[in-house]
Structures are given as structure tokens and as C-alpha cells.
Chains A and B, each alone.
Chain A
Amino acid sequence: MPFVTTAAVPATLPPLFADWFAGRGWSPRRHQLEMVAAGQSGRHALLVAPTGGGKTLAGFLPSLIELAERGPRPQHGPGSGVHTLYLSPLKALTTDVERNLTTPIREIGLNIHVETRTGDTKQSKRQRQRDFPPDILLTTPEQLALFCAWEGARSYFADLKCVVLDEVHAIWSGKRGDLLSLGLGRLQQFAPGMRRVGLSATIEDPDLIRGWLSPTPAVEDVALVRGDPGAPAVIDVLISEGKVPWAGHTGRHAIPEVYAAIQRAGLALIFVNTRWQSEFVFQQLWAINDDNLPIGLHHGSLAAEQRRKIEAAMARGDLRAVVCTSTLDLGIDWGDVDLVIQMAAPKGSSRLVQRIGRANHRLDEPSRALLVPASRFEMLECQAAREAVADNAFDWEPIHIGTLDALAQHVMGVACSEAFDMQALYDEIIGCGPYRDLAWEQFEEVVDFVATGGYALRTYDRFARIVRTPDGRWKARTKDIAQRHRMNVGAIVSAGTLNVRVAGRRGGASRQLVPGRKVGEAEEWYFEQLTPGDTFLFAGQVWAFQGIVGTDALVSHANDKEPKIPSWGGSKFPLSTSLADRVRTMVQDPDHWRVLPPDVQEWLELQAERSAIPDAESMLVETFPRGGRHFLVAYPFEGNLAHTTLCMLLTRRLDRLGVGPLGFVVTDYSLAIWSIKPMDQIDLDALFQSDMLGDDLEAWLEESFMMKRSFRNCALISGLIERRQPGAEKTGRQVTFSTDLIYDVLRRHQPDHLLLKTARADAASGLLDVARLGQMLARIEGRIRHQALTRPSPFCVPVLVQIGRERVGGDAAEMILDESAEHLIAEVMDEDAP
């Protein structure tokens, strides 16, 4: 496979560096030399390379060489500032990189000062970094947003020569990426000669990231350097006792074999897709851990110190396996992992490659991975993913357009740093990849929002957060307003979380619950569904829920072996479009089935016999009666988000058609709707017509909790609501303001408000997957293959099984109140009252 590189002819290393490589018995890799060449010719560069290729060093080499050749550094004034800024999406990565960077610096004998700075860095160190900047500052995008809001940011970064963005593939296409891009635009103003360097895992279309990275509309302005591919990974699929279950998504059946694989490996990472699933797998493994193997658990809800403990134990080689979520996806090496196990389907080839890369960081040796499909459809998906990895095919990413809530935060930040001229700032912003097409009118709307909230009722002009200076520029009205903004920068909005704490009881009779030791944090919505006494798994133990006090969920130890409340709901990541395409293609080709286990082949043959196998461009719809109900099952293979949206819209139509829909469930592959009357006579082409994405979608969306959730995100990121207020941390209580109330009022009184438009766009692209749904409806138009059956087909078993498991979703609020109402008590009170 040819590797096209647009960088100049590889440079040679200066003797000091060449000697260091030689002394270690290494020779510099081609892509490292190409990065040096790009640096020497002053070009922006994107390095795309698999894990284990010395990617980080490649990013830093040009800076190290430049710093080695520079003369004595002045203490103050020109030339005393930061030379290279490194930004990583993970705090922990900055520490890791610091360690990896100080080794060559020390061994080569360079006089280069490296420091890290994250949200955890002490105030005294932060102040020192302002007074005496290091040569290389390792930090996070959130800190960059803060720098942009500093007074004096312009002079602080005047000497900046290079910005290195690590794991850029993981961040560019979201709101964090929007803010990061705007921050880069700002830095470029401060230091026009600054080079931008991106480091990325292998991706399908590097030009998307080049376009994002480039300060101009031309992707060619960013040199593309590709690393050599590593040895092909060895990926096995675990077939437990030769059988693949019909349905399920936990892989519980295969736990003994997973355990056996752990016994054979040195250190295994067991990836799952959700936190709750990790708890479940962890518990299952320990239940059969007769050898007492040290098996750990790592996910984002655990208390930070607990995660640090696990990481340290991995690094020391004290562990044999860690059950983890995407918290260990990105590039930190915590030990000599030699096996990666993916429990349940990977959902996308890019993520799978990233995870497999965690095993064995030596490029020339193959990584080993074991996929554990939890069901037959997942078996197809695992096989498709395996083939995708072998073909070097990665997931496509959609084009991303910059969001206006992130822009609003940035504009406020700029006004906190220095007075800005509107036209000049607009020109700067449309130089940033995601905002290239921003219209002047949109920009004006954002500035108005930042100033007074952007309300048609102009009563807040006197409270404006930014005001015009006599020369017509804009700046923050007061120092206090600027300071409050600085406390609230960043695009990471956590879902409302509660601290999980062990409950104690205060003095005897009152039996009042008091919060004790913190076990971790978890989403508020999870506790919303528990009643006191419910037991659940968390941090590897079974707990009984006691109640919520303030921002704490109080729990006590439970003796139950099995928790009462199962806690996972399918996968967190939707099936990627490219993997879905592969699965559809595989399903329609009987020759391809031979690579599958015999029972899965039989299942497919039986499906062909009893119902039909659709071709890749068509969609199969089955209807059949069962248990006094009528079912419609469709197989779009578009992931559970798009399927949920589709079901919401279909059932509205079915209701209008008078068939009396009663409910629906979805999986990543299929959806099922059941009704009172038969659905086999319905005009299916009309039912699935794409005009459902118009009014029906609008009407449903406005009321949906997903809209409220995205509105909350937009309100927090845009600065409408402050997450942190001065003094709030001292009490340990979050300042919470119900964004739902604001949403309701705003929707009624100003439906075209900037934040509502932003929230709608977010919900459509993210939570609802409307774009994907639209493409699917267009694809299947006139190509629906209907099978009217007398009994369920082999394909529909997984989704039917799902029905029994279903918990109430959607707008169930009124129903819950109805069902809980106890009129009896009211009547009793009525009579007993004096």
C-alpha cells in the first residue's frame, strides 16, 4: 500500500539528536524525519499514524531541535515566552507526555524547561507559570479557553512558535473542537508565525482534520505525514462452546472463556461500552475468580483516587486484567497490555482499532485482540469489524459545522481579555475551520446574545455583560463579570451528576441520613429511577439506595449477590454507518456466510427460508400476529438512536391510521412496533416516506426530554447559566438552576431564540440522528421488502426479547403520576380531618 506524503524531503537530524537515537539503538522513523522537515520549512502539519510509532516524539522533535539551537533565553521581554504549547484532550496524558519528554531532554543534555498545567494545578504553580513561562507548556483545551480570556494573553503568547494537538481525531468534531479551533485562531493572532501540528490516530479521511486544522480554506496548507502501518492485528472472535446466543448484549454466557483468556494473558484490558456494563462484567468475573487473579475496574464514574490507584497498579504490573470503558481508549500506557478483549460488539472500526492499539505498543509486533459477541447480530458485526480492520477501513465522520453556543463562550472570553473590534474578530473567526461559513448576521446575533441574552424584549440593555468603548470596540463591562466568565470556560458539560456516598445516620431517634465517604459519581437520571431499598452495582459492589440529600446519593452496603436493578440499556455508541453497511452487505451474500460459525449460518438460512434476506439497498419489513397483538418489525441497521427517532415518528402515523399502536422497542439492527389492529395492509412506502421528518418531527421534538437535555448543554456552554460561581466550591454544593423551566418559558415567548435554534440543531444531529435517518429513508424509498408472516422470523427474536426487558421511556411523566395516585388516602384524610 503506497503512503502518500506531502511533506518535503526528509531532513536529517542534528548530530546531538542522531547520537541520542543511535545510543538507544534506534534509528529515527521516516515520519519523524518528515515532521522535522515540515517544521524546518515552517509548515503546519498533520501526522496520522497508528499507536506505537513514536507519534508524540515526532510532534515535539522540531521544537526540541529549535530550542536546542537557540541561544541563552532572556528572563523577561521578547523571547522569554512559551515556545511550544501542547494540548491533549486528557488531563492524565499531559503528565504522561511530560515523563516521555523529559527523558530525551535529560539524556541529550538540553536546557529545556517543560511544565504541565491542568485544572488540578495548584494556584501557586499557575501564578509562577504566568510570571516565568516554561519553554514547553503541556495542557488541555479548557486551559486554552481560559488563556484566551486572560488579560494580557496577547503578550504572554507573543513568542509562541508551535502548538501540538494530541489525539486530535478524538476532539475536532465536537464542541470542544469548536472552542479549540477558535482558541487556535486567537493564538495565531498573537503569534502570526505559529505552526499548528496535529497528531491523529489513523482515520478514513485525513483531509477533514487538515481542513479543521488549517488557518486558511486550503487543506494543502497543512502538510500530511503518514506513519507506516504496524503489523496487522490478530483478532479472534470468541465462540463460547461453539454457540452464539440468539439475543442479549452482555456476553454473560462467555464469562468462563473470557476468564480463561485472562489466565493465559499477562495483562488483559476488557473493554465494554457502558459503565454499568463494566460493573456487570467485573462482578461476573469475580464470581468465578477461583485463582484470585487481581482484576480491576476502571470507568469514569469512579472516584478519581480509585482510578489513580488502578492505573498505578497497572503500571507496576500488579494487575492481570482491568475491566474498563472508553476512559482507557486514548493514548496512555499504563503497563504491558498483551491482550485486548472487547465484550459485546465494537460498534465501529475506528474505536476498535484504537482499543486494540492498547495492546502492545511495539509497532512491529501484532496486537492481539479477542471479540466477544453477545448475540447473533453482534456476531455479524464482529466479523464485519474484523474485516474492516484487515482492510484498513475506518469509520467515516460527518462534516462538522461550528456551534453557536461555543462561539458565544469564545466571544465573551475575547472580551474579557481585551477590547475587540467586531469586524476584526469576525475575520479571525471565519478563519477557523468549523466557522468558515459563518454569516455576519449570525455573528451579530451571537454578539447580541453575549451582551444582553439576545431577547426580543430589550429590557437588559442596562445590564449588558459587554459594552462598547468610546472607540467602538467591545469589552467586558466589569472585572467581576470577566472573572466569573473565566470560572466557567470549557465545553465539557457533565450530565447532572450526584456524588455516591455511603450513608451514615445522625443521632438516634431522628434517624436522619448524613453523607459519608464518597464512592464515586453517577448520573442523576440513574438515581431518579430508583426507590429507596433498590439495590444496584457500583464500584464493584452491590449497594442499597437510601435517598438523595442535596447533591449526594446516599447508599449503604447490601448483602444481595444480585442487584435488583439491572443498569445497562444497550450500547452507548451507535453502530457506525460504515460498519452497518458492511453488515448489510455480508447478510445478503450467502457465500460470505461461510466465515461465520455454523449456528449463525443456520440462522441466516432459516431466515431466508421462513422470511427473506434483504439486499443491501432494501429494507426488510415483517408483519405477523403474536399473543393477541400485531407486530411490525423492520431492519434498518442504523443504530438505536436513529431507530428510536424513527419509532416515535412511525407510531404517530400509525395512530393516525387507526391501527392503535401499543408500544415499540429498538436494537442497533432492528425495531419492533406492536398494535391492536393488523398492519399488513398498510401502504408501507407511504408509512416510511421521508416527509415524516417535517412537522411530525418538530411537534414531537419540542416536548421531548432530549431537547431539554441539549438545551441545558447549550445554556451552560454559551454562558447563559453559570456552572461555577464565586464561593460556590466552598460549600461543596453545586449551584443548580433548572434549565427546564427556562426552556419552557423561552419556547413560549421567543421560539426563535438563538439557544433554542442551537439546541434543536444539536438534538437533530446528536441525540436523534436525524441526518442518518434521512439518508436511510431516502435509500429505501420504493425498496421496502414486505413479508407478511404467520409467526415470528429468526431475525426478529432479538428485538422481541427486548420487549420483556423494556423499561418505560419517553414522556412517561403523566403516566407515572397517574399510576401512583392514591385517591384512597385523600378520601381517608377528607373524612378524618377535624
Chain B
Amino acid sequence: MNAALRQTLSPARKPCGSLRVQIAGETCVLRCSGVLWLPTHRALIAADLHLEKGSAFAARGQMLPPYDSRATLDRLETEIADLDPGLVVLLGDSFHDARAIGRMADEDRARLDRLASGRNWLWLEGNHDHKALADDARTEASLPGRIVGDMALGALRLTHEPEPRTPGDDRHGEVAGHLHPAARVVAYGRGVRRPCFVTDGSRLILPAFGAFTGGLNVRDPVIAGLFATEPLTAVVGRDKVHAISWDRLP
């Protein structure tokens, strides 16, 4: 069958074809929304929301649509409704820049409050948003939940920016974001570029969750260099996470 028709003719798919892996002994569910679900801890982890990226560009004269925060929160809301997590950890760079919180629409701010109510909600600091978070905490404390630095969760260590690999230490159990990994998959003369998870079973890098976040190719030395052996890429598809081996990625 040729691909142009595939879409029309393929049978209904499962709601979310997640991929289940073990990292440092913890069961990790890689969801096709791009979030990490830790069933043992009932914890939802999402990285790099970059809220208000659109308005950050607009402030500098490029009028990107002002709907990115709304679109990102829509997706987050769907996942929260599906999973009902007891703990939500946003893994850094939740806001695009230092003034992002002030630019958020009232409606979006109110939605954050709604989503956070009744559960633990942690803003882990990232390079883009540590100032925004600190300013908010110092002045209005308008955000729900708490601001944290790196933290442990079971056998996992949650951090924004992955530590460089040093000999003898394979960063066992590290879960990080920051790098926005994306993979290019090639088959049948076509290429597809999608956000992806990257893991070697020891550490895990999450894809960026924000609506306007671009990606860095996993083959780039910045990402590839974090792993001693060829890692697995879990590519986020429309309704399934696809495990794809390293040698298929140009």
C-alpha cells in the first residue's frame, strides 16, 4: 500500500502507545505526549515547556502567534486528566525567559492554579527560568506549588541539565531535559523529524514539551556524547512511542 493512503485506511490506534523502560531499577513509562510517567510514584515529569516563547519573540519584533502557552497547557491538562498524578515535576525551562510569568494571560495563570490544586507541584529550576522563578518567589509568589533545585525521586535523580559524562561515572539514574532531543528517521525515501526520549538504561533525557520548542538532533555530539554506548531513542509519534535503534538515525 502506498503511504498517501495509509492514513485513511489504517485501523484505529490505541489511545497512547507508551513505551515502558527500566532506568536504575525504576519503571519509567515514556508517553507519546512526551511526558515521563513514574507509576510507582504516581509522578508526571515534563521538561522544557518554554511558556510564553511566542510573546518573547513578539517583544523583540517577531509576532509569533500568542497561543503557544495555551496549546502547551492544553496538552498538559490532557495528560493530567488521564493520569491523575499525585506529583507533577516540571523539569526546568518551564518559562521561556525572565519576564515570561508577567506576560502570561490571566486565563492561563488561572489554569495553572487549577491544574496544581490537589497535588504536589514542583518547578525545578532551569537556565531559562531560574530568574523568572526566583523573581516570582521573591515578590508575588503567584505561582502554585514549590520551586526546587535538583532532587531525588526513588532511585532517580531529577535535574534540568544533564551532567557531562566523566570516566567511571555513568550518571546512574539521572533524568534530565534541557537538550530538546529530536530524531530524524528515514525510510522509504522519506524522512520524519520528531521529538524523542534518549536513554541507555542508566540515564534518560526527555524531549521538550512546549508547543514552540525546536529540537536538537540526537546524533549531535552534545547529546550523543552523554552516552558511553549507543543509546535507544524513543521517538514520539502521533499515538505511539517508537523505539528506534541508533544506526537508523542519520
Contacts and interface: CB of A to CB of B under 8 A. Distances in A.
A459 B192 contact: no
Given A652-B8, A655-B8, A745-B71, A529 B65 contact: no
B65 A749 contact: yes
Nearest to A663: B2
B22 A830 contact: yes
Contacts of B201: 829, 832-834
Given A459-B66, A748-B71, A820 B3 contact: no
A830 B30 CA distance: 13
B184 interface: yes
Nearest to B3: A812
A823 interface: yes
A808 B217 contact: no
Interface in B211-225: 211-214, 217, 219-221
Given A655-B5, A662-B5, A749-B71, A820 B185 contact: yes
Interface string B32-69: 00000000000000000000000100110111111110
A720 B71 contact: no
B148 interface: no
B58 A460 contact: yes
B3 A661 contact: no
B189 A459 contact: no
Contact of A808 (B2, B70, B193): B2
Contacts of A463: 55, 58-59, 61, 63
Contact of A829 (B7, B103, B220, B232): B232
Nearest to B187: A816
B248 A820 contact: yes
Contact of A809 (B4, B7, B19, B59): B4
Contacts of B25: 833-834
Interface string B109-150: 000000000000000000000000000000000000000000
Interface string B71-113: 1000000000000000000000000000000010100000000
Nearest to A478: B61
B235 interface: yes
A807 interface: yes
Given A452-B63, A463-B63, A826 B243 contact: yes
B156 interface: no
Interface string A704-728: 0000000000000000111000000
Contacts of A647: 4
A743 to B, nearest CB: 9
Given A816-B188, A833-B201, A811 B65 contact: no
Contact of A455 (B6, B65, B235): B65
Given A748-B71, A829-B232, A528 B191 contact: yes
A815 interface: yes
B64 A821 contact: no
B13 to A, nearest CB: 9
A202 B250 CA distance: 48
A814 B24 CA distance: 31
B235 A817 contact: yes
A444 to B, nearest CB: 17
B21 interface: yes
A651 B5 contact: yes
A742 B64 contact: yes
Q: Among the interface residues A455, A651, A813, which one has the most CB atoms of the partner chain B within 10 A?
A: A813
A199 to B, nearest CB: 38
B238 interface: yes
A735 to B, nearest CB: 10
B242 interface: yes
B184 A455 contact: no
Given A530-B186, A817-B194, A459 B3 contact: no
Nearest to A807: B189
A697 interface: no
Contacts of A745: 65, 67-68, 71, 211-212
B212 A741 contact: yes
Contacts of A512: 221
A548 B65 contact: no
Given A453-B63, A829-B201, A817 B5 contact: no
B65 to A, nearest CB: 5
B63 A817 contact: no
A742 to B, nearest CB: 6
Given A455-B66, A720-B63, A750-B65, A813 B21 contact: no
A833 B65 contact: no
Nearest to B72: A745
Interface in A742-784: 742, 744-746, 748-750, 753
B4 A453 contact: no
A825 B241 CA distance: 13
B121 to A, nearest CB: 25
Contacts of A66: none
A742 B192 contact: no
Contacts of A276: none
A507 to B, nearest CB: 13
B9 interface: yes
B240 interface: yes
Q: Among the interface residues A510, A815, A834, which one has the most CB atoms of the partner chain B within 10 A?
A: A815
A736 B212 CA distance: 12
B7 A814 contact: yes
A647 B62 CA distance: 39
B162 interface: no
Given A460-B66, A741-B212, A816-B190, A808 B3 contact: yes
Interface string A520-545: 00000101111110000000000001
A833 B22 contact: yes
Contacts of A547: 219, 250
A664 B2 contact: yes
B20 A529 contact: no
Contacts of A548: 184, 217, 250
A825 B2 contact: no
A118 to B, nearest CB: 27
Q: Among the interface residues B67, B185, B250, which one has the most CB atoms of the partner chain A within 10 A?
A: B250
Interface string B175-202: 0000000001111111111100001010
A799 B36 CA distance: 48
B184 to A, nearest CB: 7
B23 interface: yes
Given A528-B186, A663-B4, A741 B244 contact: no
Interface of A: 449, 452-455, 457, 459-460, 463, 465, 480-481, 484, 510, 512, 525, 527-532, 545, 547-549, 647-648, 651-652, 655, 660-664, 703, 720-722, 736-738, 741-742, 744-746, 748-750, 753, 806-823, 825-826, 829-830, 832-834
10 contacts: A463-B61, A463-B63, A548-B217, A662-B2, A741-B211, A807-B188, A807-B189, A810-B5, A814-B10, A821-B243
Pairs A-B, 4 closest by C-beta atoms: A453-B63, A528-B191, A810-B4, A812-B3
Given A549-B220, A720-B64, A826-B232, 18 more contacts: A459-B55, A459-B66, A663-B1, A663-B2, A738-B214, A745-B68, A748-B67, A749-B70, A816-B185, A816-B190, A816-B191, A817-B192, A817-B237, A826-B21, A826-B243, A830-B22, A833-B24, A834-B22
